[in-house]
Amino acid sequence: MKLRSLLLRGRSTGLTPAMTARRSALPAPQPIDSTPIDQARLVVLDLETSGLDLQRDEILSIGAVAIIGNTLQMADQFECTLLRPAHRASQATLLHEIAPSEVHAGCPAEEALLGLLEFAGRCVFVAFHAGFDQRMLSRGLRQDLDYRLQHRFLDVAELAPMLFPEAARKCSTLDDWQQHFRLVNSERHNAAADAQISAEILLILLHRAATQGTATLAELNNRLVLWRRLNLVRSSGF
């Protein structure tokens, strides 16, 4: 109850009583702890947005896929376009190709975000350049659900160069890593397709981590912390 009271601050929202009950029933997120990686639910997430401004732009589309037991669960996916009545075409439309008509016919934001959280369940989120997705999702949940995001995120854009340093000099974008691992994604900048290709890359990364003796979520995260520190030292010239 203490955690739930922190998550739900009681501000008036557009939620129905049934949706409020669903929100209250959401499980606590998966902590980064001694849980074996192959026993954790990892939800690979991709968001398509109206732009890159973390304060003003909005989530337009969500794609997510689950990995359990180091297996991509093809039947365990989430995809949704959000209703944004005021949305207009912008420069970002050229990338994600989500027409304003699709957005105007989308799912109400509170229902879409609640559906995502129910799909995610007790998970760790994973994304490529996770910081952006984490901040956009956090803001959306706060505004539309009055919900404080507590889920931990792992970043494929950090895991890939850490585990494949031999490829890091030539690979930085999702397209680069996709090509390096010879994976196919015919619908780039589509949330569901990008979530799936990120998940396929993650499976390759987790396999290498396992062969190197990294077995738990905490061990993987501790390696990332050390890797970041070493990169900081190198970039400082020491």
Q: How far apart are the first and last CA of the chain?
A: 48
Between residues 233 and 207, which one has the greater pLDDT?
A: 207
In the chain, the percentage of residues whose pLDDT exceeds 90 is 73
Beta-carbon contacts of 158 under 8 Å, excluding residues fewer than 6 positions away, are: 224, 227, 228
Assigned token pair, 132: 């952006």
Q: Is the pLDDT of residue 60 over 80?
A: yes
CATH assignment of 29-236? 3.30.420.10
Give the pLDDT score at 238. 56
Per-residue pLDDT band at 87 (split at 50, 70, 90): low
Q: Is the pLDDT of residue 13 over 90?
A: no
CA–CA gap between residue 25 and residue 121 (Å, rounded): 10
| Domain residue ranges of the chain, discontinuous segments joined by + | 29-236
- Please state the rounded mean pLDDT for residues 32-38: 98
Between residues 60 and 14, which one has the greater pLDDT?
A: 60
CA–CA gap between residue 69 and residue 72 (Å, rounded): 8
Give the pLDDT score at 17. 95
Give the pLDDT score at 188. 64
47 sits in which H/E element: strand 41-49
**CA angle at residue 125 from 122 to 29, to 5 degrees?**
25
User: CA 162 → CA 47, 74, 227, distances in Å?
Assistant: 24, 27, 7
64 sits in which H/E element: strand 59-68
pTM: 0.89
User: CA 215 → CA 21, 120, 158, distances in Å?
Assistant: 36, 22, 18
| pLDDT tens sequence across 127-177 | 999 999 999 999 999 999 999 999 999 999 999 999 999 999 999 999 999
62 sits in which H/E element: strand 59-68
CA–CA gap between residue 187 and residue 197 (Å, rounded): 10
